[in-house]
Chain A
């Protein structure tokens, strides 16, 4: 797992699966979740296995989460904000498309 060695910003509270979690301003959603010990971000529709961030630079799409009920977002390319509601993603994301 990961631990925070250096602070990058002021505390931010967001909601993951109904639980309040604390991150720091400047965190991506992926780093915010990893800093809280969350590794599994989504369930792959094809084989039902759980997946989590793999590349951290927007390439692998394994970090997909649901943000504010709006559908699929890449957690490594999205910034965390106070009060943001985030859930694990499950189901089939359409290529090149955020349903």
Chain B
């Protein structure tokens, strides 16, 4: 067998899949649009982990340290052909296999393979609220990206708002670095609702260590001097050309804080642009309010030869991404007639994955998408690119507009440069709510290539070029 398997995404899922396939003897081409391996969680692992003097490693914590060995294991495989700075802007599945459009620097070219493993990960769920388009309002994951990539940290006047494990983790990472945020405004309640207790008990039995870690984070935050408020509502940012104040309701009163930086988080959701473009079947996760591609137990999508591992298939976290990458790598190797490596650990990997699913079932219920960001006021922008408000989308639904694709044609929502990555989720939810229908009936935006920016000149230079 000589034709390479193409793996897209060099985060934990893609690294594990590529390593497993390479060990089985399959040639692998591993693409990522970033300049180095690691994906979102393990971003900049080589620079930070390889520098004994960098304090970042200690500040980021032990989980982050798990990334470098994953990268080193993949680098030890001669069968992996690494292609960084290479973005996938087109994907088509046909009878001859899977065709990809790639962009590297100023060059555009095509590639093709019978088997492609997507490991393209997640994005932070867009969290619309009044003022969220002001400069200085960023995602918590965005600020963490700057911390890892550039050693940039928020000044202590920073306010963190929202909910989810990443909110706690980043607060801990800032405390480690000696930065005490001005306030943590949590949209989730402090106590675990009785209806969630059974899910908590199941998670404690299957993955107790993660719950202990989460509790320790919370204790550390509450033992620090950082004001930590639970159950805040009515979050608003205001300012002239940049965020200057944050206001919210808590304890029956309205409060206002001065700040130059507001970081928000409402969980993460799968990146679906490539799988939608590839016309994979998708399903709606009503509890977490996101679309995700339908995959089988080992990661096969509904398109022949196209596999998907990691958070792109539904949010389970990095540890699960590695297990999924290994499981898919072994199954695909077997499909290719190769002997899967470490076949003896397959059952243990699947059991570990099941444990993580039980843990996630609790996390998902404790940190559902917040109504603070979900109940979008009529005059709040949902489509940032085209400045389309929630009220415009609701109005369209009331006037008989059938779904997000029609709304896009009427309002240009989803037609701007981000191509619906920021508004697609909100537009679907708003229309479903207004029409009194489930979101999966209302549908989602279609994705037309190029799904990443490509110039006409670059496209024109494409003719006949391969790889």
Chain A residue nearest to B139 (CB atoms) is: A55
Check B387 for interface membership: any CB of A closer than 8 A: yes
Chain A neighbourhood of B136, CB < 8 A = 1, 39, 52
Q: Are B150 and A28 in contact (CB under 8 A)?
A: yes
Verify A4–B417 contact, CB threshold 8 A: no
Tell me the minimal C-beta distance from B89 to chain A in angstroms: 8
Give the contacting residue for B155; candidates A1, A74, A96; CB below 8 A.
A1
Consensus secondary structure, chain A interface: loop
Q: Which residues of the partner chain B approach A35 to less than 8 Å between Cβ atoms?
A: 150, 152
Which residue among A5, A8, A54, A64 has the maximum number of chain B CB atoms within 10 Å of its CB?
A54
Determine which of B139, B150, B177 lies in contact with A26 in the assembled complex, contact meaning CB atoms within 8 Å. Answer: B150
Query: When each residue 442-457 of chain B gets 1 if its CB lies under 8 Å from chain A and 0 otherwise, what string results?
Result: 0000000111111110
Asked if B242 CB lies within 8 Å of chain A CBs, one says yes
Q: Is A58 an interface residue (CB 8 A)?
A: yes
| Interface size counted on chain A using CB atoms at 8 A | 48
A74 to B417, CA, bound (A): 10
Known: A35-B152, A59-B422, A64-B417. A51 touches B450 (CB 8 A): no
Q: Is the CB of A54 within 8 A of B138?
A: yes
Q: Are B453 and A98 in contact (CB under 8 A)?
A: yes
- Given A2-B152, A79-B35, are A61 and B54 also a contact pair (CB < 8 Å)? no
Q: Mark B148-167, 1 if CB is under 8 A from A, else 0.
A: 01111111000000000000
Contact A53–B152 (Cβ < 8 Å): no
- Determine how close the nearest CB of chain A comes to the CB of B126; give it in whole angstroms: 8
CB<8 Å pairs between A and B, sample of 30: A1-B136, A1-B155, A1-B260, A1-B261, A4-B150, A4-B151, A5-B153, A7-B151, A26-B149, A31-B150, A34-B152, A35-B152, A39-B135, A46-B385, A49-B387, A50-B135, A51-B384, A52-B135, A53-B138, A54-B138, A56-B143, A56-B146, A57-B141, A61-B385, A93-B416, A94-B417, A95-B415, A95-B416, A96-B452, A97-B453
